[in-house]
Amino acid sequence: MAYADQQMSGNKITALIVVAILHVAVGYALVTGLAQEAFKKVKEVTSAVNIEEEKPPEEPPPPPPPKENTPPPPIVAPPPPISFNAPAPQVQTVNEAPPIPAPPAPVALPAPPAAPPPPRFQPKGAAPKGNPGNWATSNDYPSRALREEREGTTGFRVTVGTDGKVTDCQITRSSGSPDLDEATCANVRRRARFTPATDGEGQPTTGSYSNSIRWVIPKD
């Protein structure tokens, strides 16, 4: 620190000497009539002189701390290898779908029976002989139904035997009067005659016949 202060005092003395010389030069210039030119020179010299205060020398950085002798890391033996038995790979069993059975072979159907041969004769039904209107007349009108003036139509169906005669009679539609219905079947049984029905061989067979009788009171 003393060396730095001594250096700074020397600089100041030098600066003062320079300034004094400048003052003398200015006075001389003024005396000689060169004041203006001297003033310019003094200005230039003053501008050129830049008195800087010297900076104190920077202190050197402290030396780095001594390196510590770090002991080397301990040598660690590697762990022994671990031996293990790897599990056996799992085998997945896949149940295959059973094979699709083949469709059964088509069964041959028996041939339909042969059609019967056509009949040698055309079958015919029983046919009445004569006029069916004569099977019941006004003289056959039941007396009680006549007195009560009851009229009506009676439907019937008869069964004809192989001899052409009526073997049975049934009322299929009533006239509303039991007397008229009974008289219908009684007269048909007594008077109706038929040509018997025939089969495909032309032989007589049992047949049937249906009709109706209208009962009307006769007018005098």
CATH number at residue 165: 3.30.2420.10
Residue 199 sits in which domain range? 127-215
Q: Is residue 97 part of a domain?
A: no
Q: What pLDDT is attached to residue 102?
A: 76
Q: Write out residues in the chain with pLDDT < 70, as ranges.
A: 1-12, 24-97, 220
Q: What pLDDT is attached to residue 210?
A: 97
Q: Is residue 77 part of a domain?
A: no
The alpha carbon dihedral of 120, 122, 127, 129 has a sign of negative
Q: What pLDDT is attached to residue 101?
A: 78
Q: Is residue 62 part of a domain?
A: no
Q: What pLDDT is attached to residue 42?
A: 44
Rounded to whole angstroms, the Cα distance separating 22 from 43 reads 10
Q: What pLDDT is attached to residue 205?
A: 96
Q: SS3 for 76?
A: coil
CA dist list (Å): 13 to 1, 19, 25, 46 = 19, 10, 18, 16
Q: Is residue 92 part of a domain?
A: no
Q: Is residue 118 part of a domain?
A: no
Q: Is residue 80 part of a domain?
A: no
Q: Is residue 171 part of a domain?
A: yes
- Total structural domains in the chain? 2
What is the DSSP code string of 117-155?
PPPSS--B--EE-S-GGGGS-GGGS-HHHHHTT--EEEE
Q: Is residue 56 part of a domain?
A: no
CA dist list (Å): 159 to 126, 163, 205 = 9, 11, 11
Fill in the amino acid letter for 82.
I
Q: Which residues pair with 159 in a beta bridge?
A: 168, 208
Q: What pLDDT is attached to residue 47?
A: 46
Q: What pLDDT is attached to residue 124?
A: 92
